[in-house]
A = this chain, B = another copy of it.
Amino acid sequence: MGKIRVAIVGATGHTGGSVVNGLLEEGSFVVAALVRPMSIEKPIVGALRRQGVEVREADLEGPEEELVRALNNIDVVISCVRESKTQQQDQISLANAAKIAGVKRFVPCGFGVVAPPTGVMRLRELKEIVYNHIKKLWLPYTIVDIGWWYQIAFPRLPSGKVDYVAMGIADEILGGGNVPSAITDLRDIGRYLAKIIVDERTRNKMVFAYNTVMTQNQIYDLMEEISHEKLERNYLYQVADNTIYDRVSECRLSAASSSTDPTTSHPLILAEHKLSWGIRGDNNPDYAKYLGYLTSKELYPDFESTPFGDYLRSVIGGTSEGRTWGLQD
């Protein structure tokens, strides 16, 4: 039996880059990247080629038969498209083509926090439309969610030591800061995928692959312990939790009036994530199991993930990869 042939959409993004690295490291996959015609000459695509990735031209909005041809001989498709509505919906034609091409497993864009299928996060609802389309096609699939990234889960320090890499997203503590939420090193995603996509137990299932579960207060404690700095704790939505719902409603109204403008959709995505993992507490293994996910802890008890403390030490020590971890486009 030859190597398993995997096609990745969005190989030049954060998640896609992790997947490319994880699969190549593992060694038993032939990796192809589906790249839009307009991007085919970009330096980043050249970098993929030098890594040993086969680059195939494919336009998700182009004719179906061309997409089917681009998937010729492919065993597994992994879709790491972006958060926009257009990119999420493009997966419909990708799934149709995968069905015709005889793809044996389709991994649609999940790679997010655990959340209910509808009613809390618009991004999750967009994904649900794709999942339901896959089910209508009777296309073999695996949905993989990975929680929140290490890379955006820690706050800045008063000394400014981590400003070279911190995004500022964790500078607010949601509610009382005591809601457990699952976090994962972005760089481990691909290593999880290398196991998941060849695992018969995960066929037609949802998988929650995460490294550890922590509250925001625990993360702040750990940062203080490693850095020997005292952190200010900026509690948001603590007194009246309902204000987060107002914030989400405001963002929904702005986003509805301009559904393709990232300056309105991005605040909505952030506000809804904060509501889901920070207040409701959706992003944890118990709720995931209730929703039907298998978890990486049960499937791969021996998986060696990067401990969050080790990651934070590299960040505070100034040796982290910075904001441009992995490949960018």
Interface residues of A (CB under 8 A from B): 116-120, 128-129, 132-133, 135-136, 138, 140, 204-205, 287, 290-292
Neighbouring B residues of A120 by C-beta, 8 Å:
136
A195 to chain B, nearest CB (A): 21
Bound-complex Cα distance A118 to B287 (A): 24
Number of copies: 2
Bound-complex Cα distance A129 to B116 (A): 12
Neighbouring B residues of A138 by C-beta, 8 Å:
287, 290
A147 to chain B, nearest CB (A): 18
A252 to chain B, nearest CB (A): 16
Neighbouring B residues of A118 by C-beta, 8 Å:
129, 132-133, 136
Q: Give the 9 A-B CB pairs with smallest separation, nearest first.
A: A116-B136, A118-B132, A119-B136, A117-B132, A116-B135, A204-B290, A135-B291, A117-B135, A138-B290
Bound-complex Cα distance A119 to B118 (A): 17
Neighbouring B residues of A119 by C-beta, 8 Å:
132-133, 136
Neighbouring B residues of A205 by C-beta, 8 Å:
292
Bound-complex Cα distance A136 to B290 (A): 11
Across the interface, name the chain B residue whose C-beta is closest to A116.
B136
Neighbouring B residues of A204 by C-beta, 8 Å:
290, 292
A241 to chain B, nearest CB (A): 17
Across the interface, name the chain B residue whose C-beta is closest to A128.
B132
Across the interface, name the chain B residue whose C-beta is closest to A205.
B292
Q: Is the CB of A292 within 8 A of B290?
A: no
A2 to chain B, nearest CB (A): 27
